[in-house]
Structures are given as structure tokens and as C-alpha cells.
């Protein structure tokens, strides 16, 4: 079995804009190189919203130097950015946005979801880019639920969706800058499964909902996550009730990480340049739909 290095609980929630009540489960500010290539994970909801004629969300804001991976469990989010791209992501969909050299972006509850109300539940993961890719062209991948392959787990234990990387012979649709596995794991109550882990990779396991016994020793609940060592081994999971987990495994990027708000680069000088480029309009243009920018830069 892989060694568990720590079990961590989410802090109190805070609001991002007026549409996303978020718990920041981890951040490079607190865990740094130990979680590379993963930088940050925000868990939004589950939260119920009343019907509204005005979509809630977060207004125009910049990013540079990394990627955001948004996984929707419930609800629907409309997004658009300064490249001219945009669209909707709903239950089971994933948006993999590469900010790279710089992008302006906004995210709101979709008009239909706003009008009818309902439960919103999603996570957003920040994935670092190596220095060679930080100033590349921005873009994004829309990974629809129907296009993400599912693998049935042995003994009817549940299923695993391969968003990125591989599980056995099944490859996920996401293109990644560095090797990684991003799996959406669903376990049935009372069932167990043993999953293999890559030697040399960072491994983070997040319990999105439910309660799971890990390696026969740690009971981990909704809003908690585990960090494992980078040695080879397996992870044994036993679901005490129906559970949803996020498996994040990636090859570490052995480079300095310097961040300020929505910019993650390798040096302080690069952060200063990012701020100058943003203020001078080099990230492009995106007229606000409603809310002001959320970052005080």
C-alpha cells in the first residue's frame, strides 16, 4: 500500500463572485512543491440557489501561467473568454482551460439554470504549466460528459471516468502538458476497490461526497483529502456509503513556483511582467457581462 502522508480538511467556505460558495481544499501557498503539478483545488457547493432573473457568477478576471480544470457535478455554468471562445458546461462536463500567456475569462450560472434555480456543485483544479509552456497560446478543451470514457470497477464496486491520463487500456480525452491522471471515481456503498498508483508521481485523493476507508486505516469524509508518498504501491478504498472521489496523480514539475492572485510563474520578475501586461491590455479584451473584475491587481 502507498503511504499516507497526511489527511486534510477543508477550511470555512468563502464566496467567489456571487455565484460560487467555495472551500479551497489545498493551495500551493500551503503545500508548495509537495503537490506539483497541482496548484489549487476549489470545491464549490453543493449549494442550492433560488430562481433568479440575473445570473450569478464571477466577472471578468485574468489568468496566466497555468490551466484551470472545471468539473461540474450539478448545475450549469456559462463561460466566455478573450479568445472569443465560450459555451456551457453541465453535469458531468469538464472545461480544461489553458491560460498560458494570458487570458481574460468570466463564469456565470447559465441563463436556464438561473431561471429555474437548483443545486450547484463543482470543483475547479489549477494545474501548473512548465516554464517552456507558460507563454504559449491560450485555449481550452470542452470535454463533454458523453465523450469521457467510463470503466466499470471490479465486483460491481462502481465506475471510474477517465478525464485525463489512462486507467488500464482506457485513455482520457484531455490533452495535458505533463503526464497526469485525473479520474472521477464513484463507489457503491459497502464495496471496495484497489487502484494502482504511478511511482514517482504526486498523488492526491479528494473525497467529494460520502465517506471512504482508505488503506484500511483512515476514514475520510466529504471535504477532506489525502496526500500520499511518491513511491510505487496501491490504494485500497472501501466506501461506507455511496461516494464520489477525485483522483489526481501527476509527474512533478521541478521548477520554482511564484504566484500572485491569478498569475503563477517561475520568478517575481515574471509576475511583475504579467501584471504590467494585464494592465496595458495585452491579455485581449472582454467586455463585462455584469459583474466587475474580482481581482484587485
pLDDT in tens, 134-183: 999 999 899 999 999 999 999 999 999 999 999 999 999 999 999 999 99
- Per the listing, cell 502538458 goes with 177
Helix/strand/coil for 186: strand
d(CA 71, CA 163): 10
Q: What are phi and psi of 72, to 5 degrees?
A: -100, 125
Q: Are 223 and 207 in contact (CB under 8 A)?
A: yes
3-state secondary structure 117-153: CEEEEEEEEEEECCHHHCCCCCEEEEECHHHCCEEEC
d(CA 104, CA 118): 28
Query: Could you tell me which residue, 12 or 290, shows the higher pLDDT?
Result: 12
Alpha helix segments (H runs only) across 2-126: 28-31, 111-116
pLDDT in tens, 32-51: 889 999 999 999 999 999 99
Helix/strand/coil for 132: helix
Q: Count of residues for the chain?
A: 297
Q: Are 163 and 217 in contact (CB under 8 A)?
A: no
pLDDT in tens, 72-97: 999 999 999 999 888 999 999 999 99
The model's pTM is 0.95
| pLDDT computed for residue 295 by the predictor | 45
d(CA 208, CA 186): 10
Is residue 186 scored above 50 in pLDDT?
yes
| pLDDT computed for residue 294 by the predictor | 52
Is residue 297 scored above 50 in pLDDT?
no
Please, which pLDDT band fits residue 287 given cuts at 50, 70 and 90? confident
Helix/strand/coil for 252: coil
State mean pLDDT over 262-289. Answer: 95
pLDDT in tens, 198-207: 999 999 999 9
pLDDT in tens, 109-136: 999 999 999 999 999 999 999 999 999 9
Percent of the chain with pLDDT over 90: 92
How many CB atoms are located within 10 Å of the residue 16 CB?
A: 18
Amino acid at each position: 500500500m502507498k503511504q499516507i502522508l497526511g489527511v486534510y480538511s477543508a477550511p470555512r467556505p468563502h464566496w467567489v463572485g456571487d455565484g460560487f460558495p467555495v472551500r479551497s481544499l489545498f493551495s500551493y501557498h500551503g503545500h508548495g512543491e509537495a503537490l506539483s503539478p497541482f496548484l489549487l483545488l476549489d470545491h464549490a457547493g453543493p449549494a442550492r440557489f433560488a430562481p433568479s432573473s440575473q445570473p450569478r457568477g464571477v466577472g471578468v478576471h485574468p489568468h496566466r501561467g497555468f490551466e484551470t480544470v472545471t468539473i461540474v457535478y450539478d448545475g450549469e455554468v456559462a463561460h466566455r473568454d478573450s479568445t472569443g471562445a465560450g459555451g456551457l458546461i453541465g453535469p458531468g462536463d469538464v472545461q480544461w482551460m489553458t491560460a498560458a500567456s494570458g487570458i481574460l475569462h468570466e463564469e456565470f450560472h447559465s441563463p436556464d439554470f438561473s431561471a429555474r434555480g437548483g443545486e450547484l456543485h463543482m470543483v475547479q483544479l489549477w494545474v501548473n504549466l512548465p516554464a517552456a509552456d507558460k507563454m504559449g497560446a491560450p485555449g481550452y478543451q470542452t470535454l463533454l460528459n458523453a465523450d469521457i470514457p467510463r470503466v466499470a470497477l471490479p465486483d460491481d464496486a462502481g465506475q471510474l471516468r477517465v478525464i485525463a491520463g489512462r486507467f488500464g487500456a482506457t485513455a482520457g480525452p484531455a490533452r495535458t502538458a505533463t503526464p497526469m491522471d485525473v479520474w472521477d471515481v464513484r463507489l457503491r456503498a459497502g464495496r471496495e476497490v484497489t487502484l494502482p498508483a504511478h511511482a514517482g508521481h504526486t498523488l492526491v485523493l479528494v473525497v467529494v461526497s460520502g465517506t471512504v476507508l482508505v488503506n484500511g486505516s483512515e476514514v475520510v469524509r466529504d471535504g477532506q483529502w489525502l496526500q500520499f508518498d511518491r513511491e510505487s504501491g496501491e490504494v485500497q478504498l472501501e466506501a461506507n456509503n455511496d461516494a464520489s472521489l477525485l483522483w489526481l496523480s501527476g509527474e512533478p514539475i521541478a521548477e520554482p513556483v511564484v504566484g500572485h492572485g491569478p498569475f503563477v510563474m517561475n520568478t517575481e520578475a515574471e509576475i511583475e511582467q504579467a501584471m504590467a501586461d494585464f494592465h496595458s491590455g495585452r491579455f485581449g479584451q472582454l467586455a463585462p457581462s455584469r459583474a466587475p473584475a474580482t481581482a484587485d491587481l
